[in-house]
Amino acid sequence: MKKQSTMVISIILLIIFVIFALLNTATVEVNLLFSQVRIPLVLLILVCLLIGALIIYLFSFSNHLKVNKELKELQKQPGKQEIEQLKKNVKQLQNENQQLKKALTTAQQAANPAAQPTQSTTNN
């Protein structure tokens, strides 16, 4: 559907341009710095149109390069699967850390039994 609408718009613009060209066949004099050129008005308009299109293309091309650069940078960042894997690794490391802390406390208590807190009950 989009291609059809683009084709219809292109044909309409082409018809308008042809009518415009047929109405503007007069010769005009153009001053180019140190020289003067006599060319048909429609040719002058067409050349200016092409120069404008070229300038717009160059600006859009530079924007396209910038967007491609940003896309490559984003692709270098970790994806969802990598993030999930890293989260799993973090959880495993946290569990291992807790187990090591428990083992350390157990080893310290076994090495120094006098440092263990004693529970005393007092009855009054």
Does residue 47 belong to any structural domain of this protein?
A: yes
Residue range of the domain that includes 13 = 1-77
Q: What one-character-per-residue DSSP string does 47-60 give?
A: HHHHHHHHHHHHHH
Does residue 112 belong to any structural domain of this protein?
A: no
pLDDT at 113: 73
| Average pLDDT per consecutive 10 residues, the chain (124 residues; last block may be shorter) | 86 87 86 89 86 90 86 77 86 94 90 63 52
Does residue 102 belong to any structural domain of this protein?
A: no
pLDDT at 122: 53
Q: Which of 20, 41, 42, 46 lies closest to 29 in space, CA to CA?
A: 41
pLDDT at 48: 87
Count structural domains, the chain.
1
Q: Which amino acid is at 104?
A: L
pLDDT at 44: 87
Does residue 55 belong to any structural domain of this protein?
A: yes
pLDDT at 77: 72
51, 61 Cβ separation under 8 angstroms:
no
Does residue 118 belong to any structural domain of this protein?
A: no
18, 36 Cβ separation under 8 angstroms:
no
